[in-house]
Structure 1
Amino acid sequence: MTETGKPLLRALAGEAIWPPPVWLMRQAGRFLPEFRALREKADFITRCMTPDMATEITLQPIRRFGMDGAILFSDILILPWAMGQSLEFIHGRGPVLEPVRSLRDLERLDVGRVKGATRPVMETLRRLRGIVDGPEPIGVARPGQVTLIGFAGAPFTVACYMVEGHGSREFDVTRGLAYSDPEFFDCLIDTLTTATADMLCDQIVAGAEAVMLFDSWAGLLPPSQFRRHVIAPAQRIVRIINERHPGVPIIGFPRLAGIMAVEYGRQTGVNAMALDTGADMKAIAAQLPSTLTLQGNLDPLRVLAGGEGMRAEARAIRDAMKGRPHVFNLGHGVVPATPPEHVGDLISTIRDI
């Protein structure tokens, strides 16, 4: 047990807690009416970079549902934006960036800008840490029970957006460039690996008690490229964080990795691995050390549908992991159309033993 006794930290330290701690990816988001009200007041980047707003948005689901983890409201593309890459979030299109596709493009960016540009994010974390460790309840959450989670995009996933210049289902330009110009792509991944590790360490200094590395597009890569651009950078990031901040848990999320998730879990050094909706959690658990915490992995569309089907599947996932360290979560983020009462029902179901 950790000194704080926070359920999520205990689980991330390898303790099998019953019932498991629970939080949800994209728990602070468009499914909440209070979030939609704030969204009308400022654009996305402004919300991320304004501590008053980012703090409020981070805490909204904690007040309403009492999750065990509060994840910083931000975005994985704040890093390239902080390096100087143009970024705009356009309604109906998502993120739009000026593509970075050559060493010359990459040289125009400046990693040295990141620390100054992300000061508002660090201020948000400082404020949040004071609140989650404060003596007052946060809505329905008990004092001293909520763990503050920082995060970043993993190098390959961030590179996908930087190279493509927008979202994509296949990121074929990015993957093609990794083959046709490996010198540039390796340099981009190396730059992002260092910058990501530094930014996560800054988040820890500012108050994050755990950090998560989102590799949302890891599953697009074949095994050789997965090892080169997903596992190797994650190993390096974990090593840097462990050297500078020993004992701070790291959650890795190699989304859509399939069988490669086993190799990721064994080799990267993460304390916990999040699994996507398509993963058979029990089968993967059998191939991993019992000390590795698993996180996940209810289908977000089950929560959208709600009802007994959602409750039954949530219990099945929870019960299958009994006896090993597990953090209940979804296999991806909460769907915007999800009724808030379904999320409340899910949290109650996980805790009802």
Structure 2
Amino acid sequence: MIKNDLFLKALRGETVERPPVWMMRQAGRYLPEFMALKRKYDFFTRCQTPELASEITVQPIDIIEPDAAILFSDILVIPQAMNIEVQMKDGIGPWLPNPIRTPADVDWVIVPQIQDTLGYVMEAIKMTKEKLANRVPLIGFAGSPWTILCYAVQGQGSKNFDKAKGFCFTQPEAAHQLLQKITDTTIAYLKEKVAAGVNAVQVFDSWGGMLSPVDYQEFSWKYIQQIVDALKEHTEVIVFGKGCWFALKEMATSGATALGIDWTCSAQNARYLTGGNITLQGNFDPSRLLSPPAEIKKMVTQMINEFGKDRYIVNLGHGILPNIPVENAKAFVDAVKSYQS
């Protein structure tokens, strides 16, 4: 039995004394303990070494004490497993030396055996569960097929992912073939994560907001829907589409357990667009964690009042930034823990 199951209760829509809290990217660069490991090991070594990934996952649980842990990994381990080389370059971020640009390139992409290619993730989950010792639930995650395609085609991060969009619009058949391969791999990967012990999964559609509402349906949502359909019988599924407020109504009837909201969509609009019957997660502006702790507490209280304490998970509207003081991250978590309606 998980000692603190507040996160799971909120996902199930049960009445709670206060909402649960965790932060996207909470296992990361704002923690000195994380930076100490970063200086010793390169990025993918940290992802691919179960001892390191599990240690990093548990760091924020010990330091800032949120109500859920999220496994330290990266969305780009999926293309790595699919025959697409991915590097992490200092100052640049993800770098794919051989981006996908033609139907022939898509043919080279494989749907892998998950245990053969990503077994290290399952080992990290098992080690993390041991270290957590049932203190809090563990979340597994994957990127949306569209978001993975963005990197696979663009070859690196981008402000507009013009090459990725151009590929979809000029070679739609090849694009859909690639998206389906990513979807099939992601479903198999998340099912293995559930079997290894995660208590919920989150799909990150980080670049969904790059698409128009019509193109979003075509190139992103229908693949996320496949993932939700395949996983919802096995675990709780959270969908987070950054900049995708226009799709919230459809997302709310998709079978997903909860929806992540970014900071550009108000609580009132999010509740209205989703019909008020689904758990929402978010949506504190990550940069607002630079505010003084007393102000953070005031804003968090206001945010909870606007969303309502039930069917709500307190989180950021995107990942925590590396320049956030640890005491401010702690103030965010503590503000939720001291919340009284």
Aligned partner of 2:47 in structure 1 is 48
2:155 aligned with 1:156: no
Q: How does 1:242-281 map to 2 (within 5 A)?
A: 242-243=232-233, 245=234, 248-266=235-253, 268-281=254-267
Range with greater deviation from structure 2 (96-105 or 319-328) = 319-328
2:327 partner amino acid? E
Native 8 Å contact 2:2 2:135 kept in 1: no
- Cα distance in 1 for partners of 2:41, 2:4 equals 37
- C-alpha distance 102-127 of structure 1, shift in aligned 2 (>3 A): same
2:227 partner amino acid? I
1:286 offset after TM fit, Å?
2.4
Aligned partner of 2:73 in structure 1 is 74
Aligned partner of 2:119 in structure 1 is 119
Number of residue pairs matched by the alignment: 338
Aligned partner of 1:213 in structure 2 is 203
Native 8 Å contact 1:18 1:322 kept in 2: no
Native 8 Å contact 1:293 1:325 kept in 2: yes
Native 8 Å contact 2:114 2:188 kept in 1: no
1:145 offset after TM fit, Å?
4.0
- Cα distance in 2 for partners of 1:200, 1:34 equals 28
2:176 aligned with 1:176: no
Native 8 Å contact 1:275 1:297 kept in 2: yes
- C-alpha distance 311-5 of structure 1, shift in aligned 2 (>3 A): closer
Q: How does 1:14-33 map to 2 (within 5 A)?
A: 14-33=13-32
Aligned partner of 1:335 in structure 2 is 321
Native 8 Å contact 2:2 2:136 kept in 1: no
Native 8 Å contact 1:277 1:299 kept in 2: yes
1:231 offset after TM fit, Å?
1.8
* Structure 2 residue corresponding to 1:303, chosen from 289, 305, 311: 289
1:323 offset after TM fit, Å?
4.8
2:320 aligned with 1:344: no
- The normalised TM-score by structure 2 is 0.95
1:101 offset after TM fit, Å?
1.6
After TM superposition, which residue ranges in structure 1, 4 or more long, deviate above 6 angstroms? 2-5
Structure 2 SS opposite 1:336 = coil
Consecutive unaligned residues in structure 2, runs of 5 or more: none
1:3 offset after TM fit, Å?
8.6
1:120 offset after TM fit, Å?
0.8
1:190 partner amino acid? Q
* Structure 2 residue corresponding to 1:189, chosen from 175, 179, 197: 179
1:149 offset after TM fit, Å?
0.2
- C-alpha distance 323-68 of structure 1, shift in aligned 2 (>3 A): closer
1:66 offset after TM fit, Å?
1.3
Native 8 Å contact 1:164 1:174 kept in 2: yes
1:14 offset after TM fit, Å?
1.5
1:83 offset after TM fit, Å?
1.2
Aligned partner of 2:38 in structure 1 is 39
Deviation by residue 1:220-276 (Cα, 9 ceiling, x = unmatched): 111111112222111111111135x2xx1000001111322232223x321000001
Native 8 Å contact 2:110 2:181 kept in 1: no
Native 8 Å contact 2:28 2:34 kept in 1: yes
- C-alpha distance 92-147 of structure 1, shift in aligned 2 (>3 A): same
Consecutive unaligned residues in structure 1, runs of 5 or more: 135-143
Aligned partner of 2:5 in structure 1 is 6
* Structure 1 residue corresponding to 2:191, chosen from 194, 197, 201: 201
Aligned partner of 1:137 in structure 2 is none
Q: How does 1:223-234 map to 2 (within 5 A)?
A: 223-234=213-224
- C-alpha distance 50-5 of structure 1, shift in aligned 2 (>3 A): closer
- Cα distance in 2 for partners of 1:213, 1:46 equals 23
1:65 offset after TM fit, Å?
1.4
- The normalised TM-score by structure 1 is 0.92
**Superposition RMSD in Å:** 1.6
1:308 offset after TM fit, Å?
2.8
Deviation by residue 1:288-335 (Cα, 9 ceiling, x = unmatched): 244311000101111123333322211111111225300000001111
